[in-house]
Amino acid sequence: MRRTGAGEQRSRGAGEQRRNSGTTLRPDLRIVAENIPAGSSALDLGCGDGALLEYLKIVKGVTGRGIERSEAGVLACVRRGLSVRQGNLQEGLADYPDKSFDVVILSQTLQYLNDPLMILEEMLRVGRLAVVSFPNLGHWRCRIHLLTGGRTPQAPDYPQSWHEAPRRQHFTTTDFLDFCHTQAITVRQAIYLSGERNVEWMPNLLARTAVFTLARTG
């Protein structure tokens, strides 16, 4: 009879926890979840229906809070038994003292913000770390679309016409790295994705989505 090693037991246990959570995360949220320490505290900005918070609570024992603008999203979170408040990000963050959380999360929202620097500064004030994910406009399909069609490209994983609400300003992973450098924000980790696959080579060309873990320099 084959013995089951400790590593395999842990893997099976984690898989069982994921199934019990009833939540299947999209690829970028899966990476976000993997990089949040078990038992930590997290604030999810623009938490939507609470899928990530529920996953973190059940699978990793994270003490989670959320801020969500839409009433439908807040109601969905309440149904999941999550602690979420309704409001915009600027007002919601102002209510929290410094270092209230281990991690503050902003997934697929940065491109919609009118003042991304202010929100990132607030995230790094309220949390010890900030984790952000966003679509990469530098992906080769976006470049070809603009070159051959002369039209504003749509991010591969998040198609949206330029005129649709909420209005967004997409950017590339290189843009974001330059931004962090000029604002003295330390990039602790950068993970680049193409669907479910990690991208290790030429990420600004080949990655469809990026996940960054940030800290304040010094």
* Helix extents (H) in 40-115: 51-60, 71-79, 89-94
Residue-level pLDDT at 154: 72
Distance CA 154, CA 135 (A): 10
Distance CA 18, CA 13 (A): 9
> Of 100, 112, 95, 94, whose CA–CA distance to 48 is shortest?
112
Residue-level pLDDT at 200: 94
Tokens of 65: 């809070």
Distance CA 126, CA 90 (A): 12
Residue-level pLDDT at 167: 63
Q: Which CATH number fits domain 21-216: 3.30.360.10, 3.40.50.150, 1.10.357.10, 3.40.50.970?
A: 3.40.50.150
Residue-level pLDDT at 199: 97
How do the pLDDT tens digits run along the chain, 218 residues long?
344 444 444 344 444 444 445 568 989 999 999 999 999 999 999 999 999 999 999 999 999 999 999 999 999 999 999 999 999 887 889 989 999 999 999 999 999 898 999 999 999 999 999 999 999 999 998 899 888 888 777 777 666 666 566 667 889 999 999 999 999 999 999 999 999 999 999 999 999 999 999 999 76
Task: Residue 120: count other Cβ atoms within 10 Å of its Cβ.
Answer: 22
Q: Quick one: 218 exposed, middle or buried, by C-beta within 10 A (0-12, 13-18, 19+)?
A: exposed
- 105 forms beta bridges with 44, 131
Residue-level pLDDT at 18: 47
| Helix axis angle, 51-60 to 27-34, nearest 10° | 40
pTM summary value: 0.84
Contacts within 8 Å (CB) and 24+ apart, 185-191: 185/120, 185/124, 185/214, 185/215, 185/216, 185/217, 186/214, 186/215, 186/216, 186/217, 187/212, 187/213, 187/214, 188/129, 188/213, 188/214, 188/215, 189/35, 189/213, 191/31, 191/35
> Of 11, 16, 18, whose CA–CA distance to 33 is shortest?
18
Residue-level pLDDT at 11: 40
- The residues, any chain, with a CB within 8 Å of residue 7's CB and separated by 6 or more, are none
Residue-level pLDDT at 5: 47
